[in-house]
Amino acid sequence: MTTTTTTTTTPRPAPPGVRWPLVGGVAVALAVTVWAALGIEFTLAPLFTDTLRGQRIIAQFLDPDWSYVVRVLPAWVETLSIAVVASVVGCVLALGAAMLASRVTAPGTVVYQLAKAVLSVVRSLPDIAYGLLFVAAVGTGALGGIMALVLFNLGIAAKLTAETIDAVDPGPLEAADAAGGNRVQRAARAVFPQIAPSYLSYCLYVFELNIRASVVIGLVGGGGIGNVISVELSRFRYDRLAALVVALFVVVFAIDQLSRAVRRRLV
Amino acid sequence: MITFSDVRVTYPNGVRGLDGVDLTIPDGEFVVVVGLSGAGKSTLVRTVNGLVPVTSGRLEVDGRRVDGAGRRELRAIRAGVGMIFQSFNLVKRASVLDNVLMGRLHDTPTWRSVLGVPRAADRELAFAALERVGIVEKAYTRASELSGGQQQRVAIARVIAQQAGVVLADEPVASLDPPTANQVLRDLKRIGGELGHTTVVNLHFLDMARRYADRIIGMRAGAVVFDGSAEQADDAVFEEIYGRSLTADDVLLR
Amino acid sequence: MRPPRPSRRLRHAGWTLGTLLLLGAIVLVDARWGRLLEAPAALWDYGGLMADGVLRNPFDGEFPEYWAVSFELMVESLQMAWIGTVIGALLSFPLGFAAASNIAPPAVVLGVRQVLNLIRAVPELIFAIALMLPVFGLGPLAGALAIGVGSVGTLGKLTSEAIESIDPGPVEAARSTGARPVAVLRWGVVPQVLPEVVAFWLYRFEINIRASAVLGVLGAGGIGSLLAQLFERRLWDRIGITIVVIVVVTVLVDQLSAAIRHRIISGDSRAARQPAESVL
């Protein structure tokens, strides 16, 4: 306990050198920002100069045609239906894919690596690309939209579920092995009960996303309210668009709240 | 000098923290406050720099009124009162030096503190403070990499760098093992003597209170029930403060 | 005595409701399910055509041009996503403080949180149509702004949650030294949350890459616009090339971003926290 008396003899440490990873990281981030801003010709000027040009549009926007929301009721129903079907199918497939993409349940390292790679490719394509692809393959309409969303859901739900499986308590797994269960039995009896609440909550989350995504996919011909929006956009009917946008917001918000309430009870 | 005149504190939830405290602590004294948890030790210390607002009564630190002080006035008071905490309250991710420099914030222009470019004089003060507590070699280490005793010494250095006349310490050794606890208190006492600090320390352990205190204040239910020298505070006095007979838990080292 | 079997009525009700919902959806949606049978063949054919494009010698005839165009427009999408993320980060950082209950007064917290929730509930697409289109016209700039505004909701919420979970000790210590409020935030709060918050920004960038493709289809430029045109003209070889470019670039950027996120957080004693999926 003599440190206090030797204080004056301890030399001060030299300041650490420049922290290159940090400095370099910040410099790169700034450079990328400048480059990207030039690339997309970033400017806020239209905000001040072109608000006048937008006035006609804004005027229409502020006078929404509410009756139109109800007139396209079938399209709303279709959007919801697409979301329901795509979520169910996507999540069922995702459960199987997740079992293959987790170290805990995969039948071997090769399968595990392969499944992970496939899932990351599936996830790298945006929902809209799937929309375009399937609409081209099976024609415009709900079927293409459903198929696109199934893949979209598969990517997200499988990744989240696989991560949850990675983190399960290994105790019950050992017990299942000790009882002589095979791989599938182990997954069904020891793994699934542990992940079931999280898995269901991911499914609901995916369903929330699907309301939004099905609008996007509708834009490219995947059916539902997105189709309607796309048509009105090309007709410059901003009064109708405004009503649709508000209605869409209400629907998305309501579904989010509902799904959140259910998820809170699950976990 | 710190003066309490009939200071009362009632918390928003209705709990009475201090119940009419009258105290005068002259400059340069090393005061230890003892009592059971919930007796109001912590409240007493925290009223001095306004972390706990006074409900009624008069509280002065070096001639400035703490009760009813505005935000600016409170900052001025706090600049002259350093504080050491049970859980050290260091920014774990920041370097030791940056933590000590926090003691200079009251006297640093806002732009300097926001951009993180301290004055050379402030850096010098921070280094000198680290030398005084004997861990200057750790200046550029992350605070999270230090042991508990070292972290508390960084906190003491922060107070030294603040150049405050009054030092408050709220259970400064409760998270430390006995040898380290003794050393931290010894440092606190020695540095307080060297720099002429008025020091108010909350302690739970009686033997340490007796060993280091110039003066012991005993609290019970928000009121001062004992005020005297360390010699006067024998086991009978402690039993009165604690309202029960002493147990092995009440001392750190026999 | 053996206990009676606990009631499973709630579970049964849940299953029944779910099944009915699914059946209802299958019936209601005019999907022309018969075409499902034709889909594999069609996809196989188109897949073959796409593979043709990808596997053709990329230095032959028009093909270098095709690859270059896809790559350039993918880069434009990345730029759109990056600028959108930067805008989102800049706007959300102060809002995160205003929405943290341990920093701002309750009334402010409540108000800002509602705004963030509102933004979170609106898809980027709608920001693009409703806010950007009238003033900025369609283009990458409008896309970036829509992505930026759309990112504020989640980033603001995550930032405020990170701030709310800090160790209050250093804040108390900073306050007890008599520091001004700005200095207290800068020295007591920011060092504790910055790595996590920057990791959130990067995570959001990964998401925004996908969003920028969506806005592209709407006409905001970038890879989405190209993809929409190619599909309209059914140029399958070029579609194949474009999809390969999207997948490769996205996977690479994702990996890079994830590596940086881990590096940023690893200095931290807390485990590398990925934001809860529910808010993204």
The answer, for A43 touching chain B at a CB cutoff of 8 Å, is no
Residue of A nearest to C87 (CA): A33
280 residues of chain C, pLDDT tens digit each: 778 787 778 778 888 888 888 888 888 887 777 788 888 888 888 888 888 888 887 777 788 888 999 999 999 999 999 999 999 999 999 999 999 999 999 999 999 998 998 888 777 777 787 766 667 777 888 889 999 999 999 999 999 999 999 999 999 999 999 899 999 999 999 999 999 999 999 999 999 998 898 888 888 888 999 998 999 898 998 999 999 999 999 999 999 998 988 888 775 433 334 444 434 4
Q: Which residues of B touch C264 (CB under 8 A)?
A: none
Q: How far is it, in rounded angstroms, from Cα A36 to Cα B68?
A: 54
Is C83's CB within 8 Å of A57's CB? no
Where is average pLDDT lowest: A101-105, A160-164, A232-236, B32-36? A232-236
Q: Which residues of B touch C268 (CB under 8 A)?
A: 93
User: How many residues are recorded in chain C?
Assistant: 280
- In DSSP terms, which residues pair with B64 in a beta bridge? B61
Is C173's CB within 8 Å of B75's CB? no
Residue of C nearest to B86 (CA): C169
In degrees and rounded to multiples of 5, residue A233 shows phi and psi of: -65, -40
Contacts 24+ apart (CB under 8 A), C250-253: C250/A124, C250/A125, C250/C209, C250/C210, C251/A120, C251/A121, C251/A124, C253/C78, C253/C206, C253/C209
**Structure tokens of C234?**
């059914």
Residue A92 located in a structural domain = yes
**pLDDT of amino acid A4:** 46
User: CB-based burial of residue C203 (10 Å sphere; 0-12 exposed, 13-18 middle, 19+ buried)?
Assistant: buried
DSSP state letter for B219: E
Q: How many domains does chain A have?
A: 1
Average pLDDT score over residue span A240-257: 84
Q: How far is CA A214 from the centre of its chain?
A: 12
Is A4's CB within 8 Å of B139's CB? no
**pLDDT of amino acid C273:** 43
Is C174's CB within 8 Å of B49's CB? no
Residue A140 located in a structural domain = yes
In degrees and rounded to multiples of 5, residue A42 shows phi and psi of: -70, 130
Contacts 24+ apart (CB under 8 A), C114-118: C116/C152, C116/C153, C116/C156, C116/C157, C116/C160, C117/C153, C117/C157, C118/C153
Q: How, if at all, do strands B81-84 and B166-169 pair?
A: parallel
Q: Which residues of A touch B186 (CB under 8 A)?
A: 1, 4
The 3-state secondary structure of chain C reads CCCCCCCCHHHHHHHHHHHHHHHHHHHHCCCCCCHHHHHHHHHHHHHHHHHHHHHCCCCCCCHHHHHHHHHHHHHHHHHHHHHHHHHHHHHHHHHHHHCCCCCCCHHHHHHHHHHHHHHHHCCHHHHHHHHHHHHHCCCHHHHHHHHHHHHHHHHHHHHHHHHHCCCHHHHHHHHHCCCCHHHHHHHHHHHHHHHHHHHHHHHHHHHHHHHHHHHHHHHHCCHHHHHHHHHHHCCHHHHHHHHHHHHHHHHHHHHHHHHHHHHHHHCCCCCCCCCCHHHC
**pLDDT of amino acid A61:** 76
In degrees and rounded to multiples of 5, residue B93 shows phi and psi of: -80, -15
Is B110's CB within 8 Å of C192's CB? no
Q: Which residues of A touch B139 (CB under 8 A)?
A: 12-13
Q: How far is it, in rounded angstroms, from Cα A4 to Cα B116?
A: 30
Q: Which residue out of B123, B135, B136, B150 would a mutagenesis test of the A interface target, given it has the greatest number of A Cβ atoms within 10 Å?
A: B136
Average pLDDT score over residue span A153-166: 92
The answer, for A118 touching chain C at a CB cutoff of 8 Å, is no
Name the nearest CA neighbour of C182 among B111, A159, A142: B111
Is B140's CB within 8 Å of A16's CB? yes
The answer, for A54 touching chain C at a CB cutoff of 8 Å, is yes
Residue A51 located in a structural domain = no
Q: How confident is the model at residue B199 (pLDDT cuts 50, 70, 90)?
A: very high
Q: How confident is the model at residue B150 (pLDDT cuts 50, 70, 90)?
A: very high
**Structure tokens of C29?**
């949606």
User: CB-based burial of residue B230 (10 Å sphere; 0-12 exposed, 13-18 middle, 19+ buried)?
Assistant: middle
Angle of CA points C198, C204, C209, to nearest 5°: 130
CA atoms within 13 A on the CB side of C177: 34
Name the nearest CA neighbour of A51 among B156, C132, B27, C101: C132
Domain range for A122 is 66-266
Percentage of the residues of chain B whose pLDDT score is greater than 90: 67
Q: How, if at all, do strands B16-25 and B198-202 pair?
A: unpaired
Q: Which residue out of C166, C176, C269 would a mutagenesis test of the B interface target, given it has the greatest number of B Cβ atoms within 10 Å?
A: C176
Q: Which residues of B touch C178 (CB under 8 A)?
A: 74-81, 105-106
Residue A141 located in a structural domain = yes
Q: Which residues of C touch A47 (CB under 8 A)?
A: 135-136
Confidence check: pLDDT of A139 > 70? yes
Is B110's CB within 8 Å of C269's CB? no
Residue of C nearest to A133 (CA): C231
More confident residue, C138 or A219: A219
Residue A151 located in a structural domain = yes
Name the nearest CA neighbour of B254 among B205, B218, B191, B221: B205
**Structure tokens of C131?**
């806010």
Is C126's CB within 8 Å of A249's CB? yes
Q: How far is it, in rounded angstroms, from Cα C24 to Cα C211?
A: 31
- In DSSP terms, which residues pair with B18 in a beta bridge? B9
Run of H or E including B180: helix B178-195
Q: Which residues of A touch B129 (CB under 8 A)?
A: none
- In DSSP terms, which residues pair with B69 in a beta bridge? none
| CATH architecture designation of domain B1-80+203-245 | 3-Layer(aba) Sandwich (3.40)
Residue A95 located in a structural domain = yes
Confidence check: pLDDT of A263 > 80? no
Average pLDDT score over residue span B80-96: 91
Is C30's CB within 8 Å of A142's CB? yes
- Local structure of B12: helix, strand or coil: coil
The sign of the dihedral angle between the CA atoms of B214, B219, B224, B226 is: negative
Is A84's CB within 8 Å of C25's CB? yes
CATH number at residue A235: 1.10.3720.10
Q: How far is it, in rounded angstroms, from Cα B241 to Cα B39?
A: 9
Is residue B28 within 8 A of residue B62, CB to CB? The reply is: no
Chain A partners (3+ C-beta pairs within 8 A): B, C
Give the Cβ contact number of residue A217 at 10 Å. 35
**Alpha-carbon distances, residue B16 vs A170, B8, C280 (angstroms):** 50, 8, 45
The answer, for A2 touching chain B at a CB cutoff of 8 Å, is no
**pLDDT of amino acid C279:** 41
Is C178's CB within 8 Å of B106's CB? yes
Confidence check: pLDDT of B38 > 70? yes
Q: Which residue out of A2, A3, A23 would a mutagenesis test of the B interface target, given it has the greatest number of B Cβ atoms within 10 Å?
A: A3
pLDDT tens digit string along A19-72?
A: 788 888 899 999 999 999 988 888 777 777 766 666 777 777 788 888 888 888
How does B122-148 read in b/e, with b if 16+ C-beta sit within 10 Å?
bbebbbbbbbbbbbbebbebbbeebeb
Structural domains present in chain C: 62-279 (1.10.3720.10)
Q: Measured between CB atoms, which of C176, C188, C195 is closest to B51?
A: C176
Chain B partners (3+ C-beta pairs within 8 A): A, C
> Chain A neighbours among C 30-49 (CB < 8 Å)?
30-33, 35-36, 38-39, 42-43, 46
**pLDDT of amino acid A167:** 86
**Structure tokens of B107?**
């006297």
Residue A245 located in a structural domain = yes
Q: Which residues of B touch C183 (CB under 8 A)?
A: 105, 108, 110, 113-114
- ipTM score of the complex? 0.80
Nearest-Cα distance to chain C for A236, in Å, is 11
Q: Which residues of A touch C39 (CB under 8 A)?
A: 134, 137-138, 143, 147
Is C176's CB within 8 Å of B78's CB? yes
**Alpha-carbon distances, residue A126 vs A118, A122, A129, C153 (angstroms):** 15, 9, 6, 21
Q: How far is it, in rounded angstroms, from Cα C22 to Cα B215?
A: 78
Q: Which residues of A touch C21 (CB under 8 A)?
A: 84
Q: How far is it, in rounded angstroms, from Cα A150 to Cα A82?
A: 10
Confidence check: pLDDT of A7 > 60? no
Q: How far is it, in rounded angstroms, from Cα B20 to Cα B55?
A: 10
Residue A137 located in a structural domain = yes
**For chain B, which residues make up each domain, given as ranges?**
1-80+203-245
Angle of CA points A2, A4, A7, to nearest 5°: 110
